[in-house]
Amino acid sequence: MTVRTKVGIVGAGPAGLLLGHLLNLEGVDNVIVEARSRDYVENRIRAGLMEQFATDLLREAGVGARMDREGLVHEGIVLRFGGTSHRIPLTELTGKRVTIYGQHEVVKDLIAARLEAGGQILFEASDVSVHDFEGGTPSIRFRHDGRDHVLDCDFIAGCDGFHGICRPSLPEDHLSAFDRVYPFGWLGILAAVAPSNDELIYASHENGFALATMRSPTVSRLYLQCAPDEDAGAWSDGRIWDELQTRLTDDSGFVLNRGPVLQKGVTAMRSHVVEPMRCGRLFLLGDAAHIVPPTGAKGMNLAFADVRVLSRALAAWYRKGETKGLETYSDIALRRIWKAERFSWWMTTLMHNFDTHSPFERRMQLAELDYLTSSPAAATTLAENYVGLPFT
């Protein structure tokens, strides 16, 4: 069975769904092909911190109502080291805020909006492959509901993540890959308990890094630095809570709220970028093109930034036949991506313990943390990057 559309989108994560929604608003037909089930993508727990541009983008697209009702707006973060807490006043320094709203909630909102508008999402598609994107007749082939399908299109958007099929389908000599694998991971838990603090706490401790964040007023998300191959099952709930309390303690007598652990797992830490993010009529977006360690909270935000750039370029092509946006997509997206990669790498290097670090290097971390929390100029640099750099 052969179907024709303007833009074929591989992947129904945040990038693919938002791109499809924005293109629909511009009158550009598109079809989304997704390997997983709707239930899987709607309940896949991922990032939850959104830069102001990302929340503004959802509002402008008409899908921000539930986010505005349920999202938690933050105007600062806490850096904790040497047993002392230091608040970085993000809004005071930048005029911008960040919002805690789970990625899976964003996905639910976008799926609901797309289906209400009559848009197509083909869930549980198998044997997905992309073809002829280096020429003028790209297509996506797949099996769905027991039948073979061909989706002919003008362009293909590869929004299928780091383990998807789009990036590996590009010619080997076309891409340059840049990679940094960190010698630690995060042991994370999702717990049915109210957050212990109104804002995120980033803690640097002799035992390793810890992060206290949240998903809602009644659900907390917490992380511990661990070995990259750590067995999460070897950690009892009590042991995790005790270690979190140790690493998050400060001289104010901070006491961590404890509750039932809903999920437990280990997250690998890496930085990864491929260049360019375009090959002919195939464009890479989000995790298909870049990965950041979660320390800087940039993953979903970078995906949305890619979508913002490409959706406008495609709209201009269909409205006026303009090609400049498509030709410069990769360069424009990568400029912001590399700055976010730098910030995420810097935050990760600053806050974590490395087995290779000497006592001197540990002292350098503490000295930099002291400088960050005592210099308005240094704190502003952190805040500007944390809330999101401008599009220029």
Q: Are residues 227 and 340 in the same domain?
A: no
| Beta-bridge partner residues of 181 | 270
28/104 same-domain check: yes
pLDDT of residue 392: 66
| Domain shared by 248 and 280, yes or no | no
Name which residue leads in pLDDT, 172 or 209.
Answer: 209
199 plus 295 within the same structural domain: no
Instruction: Supply the range of the domain harboring residue 251.
Output: 182-269+356-387
pLDDT tens sequence across 150-170:
999 999 999 999 999 999 999
* pLDDT 10s digits, 358-374: 999 999 999 999 999 99
pLDDT in tens, 246-263: 999 999 999 999 999 999
Does residue 390 carry a pLDDT above 90? no
Domain containing 8 — which CATH number? 3.50.50.60
Active site residues: 74, 202, 294, 298, 386
Which residue type sits at 386?
Y
Residue 83 lies in a domain: no
Which residue in the block uniquely carries the two structure tokens 């977006």? Answer: 285
The answer to whether residue 45 scores a pLDDT higher than 80 is no
Q: How many domains, in total, are found in the chain?
A: 2
- Look at residue 143 in the predicted model and tell me its pLDDT: 97
Number of H helices, E strands in the chain: 12, 21
**Tens of pLDDT, residues 300-350:** 999 999 999 999 999 999 999 999 999 999 999 999 999 999 999 999 999
The reply to whether 92 falls in a domain is no
Residue 65 covered by a domain: yes
285 falls within a domain = yes
Overall average pLDDT of the 289-296 stretch: 96
Q: Are residues 117 and 257 in the same domain?
A: no
Tell me if 12 sits within 8 A of 34, measured CB to CB: yes
pLDDT above 90: residue 243: yes
Residue range 277-287: mean pLDDT, rounded: 98
Cα distance from N-terminal residue to C-terminal residue, the chain = 43
**116 and 33 in one domain?**
yes
What is the rounded distance in angstroms from the CA atom of residue 343 to the CA atom of residue 296? 7
For residue 328, count other CB atoms closer than 10 A to its CB.
13
Are 260 and 286 members of one domain? no
Q: Of all residues in the chain, what percent carry a pLDDT higher than 70? A: 100
Q: Does residue 392 form part of some domain?
A: no
In a shared domain, residues 323 and 222: no
**Do the domain assignments include residue 215?**
yes
Q: At what angle do helices 359-374 and 376-387 cross, to 10 degrees?
A: 90
Mean pLDDT of the chain: 96
Instruction: Identify whether 41 is part of a domain.
Output: yes
pLDDT reported for residue 46 = 76
Looking at the fold, whether 264 and 278 belong to one and the same domain comes out as no
CA-to-CA distance for 321 and 57, rounded, in angstroms? 24
DSSP 37-91: -HHHHHT-----EE-HHHHHHHHHTT--HHHHHH-EEES-EEEEETTEEEEE-HH
One domain, residues 164 and 278: yes
Model confidence over 176-209: pLDDT tens digits? 999 999 999 999 999 999 999 999 999 999 999 9
Would you place residue 100 in the very low, low, confident or very high pLDDT band (cuts 50, 70, 90)? very high
**80 phi and psi angles, rounded to 5 deg:** -125, 120
For residues 61 and 138, membership in a common domain is answered with yes
Does a structural domain hold residue 80?
no
Query: In this structure, what CATH number is given to the domain that contains residue 212?
Result: 3.30.9.10
What tokens were used for 295?
A: 């320390």
pLDDT digits (tens, 9 = 90+) for 225-236: 999 999 999 999
> What DSSP letter does each residue of 211-225 carry, written as one string?
EEEEEETTEEEEEEE
- pTM, rounded to two decimals: 0.95
204 with 305, same domain? no
Instruction: Give the mean pLDDT of 147-151.
Output: 96
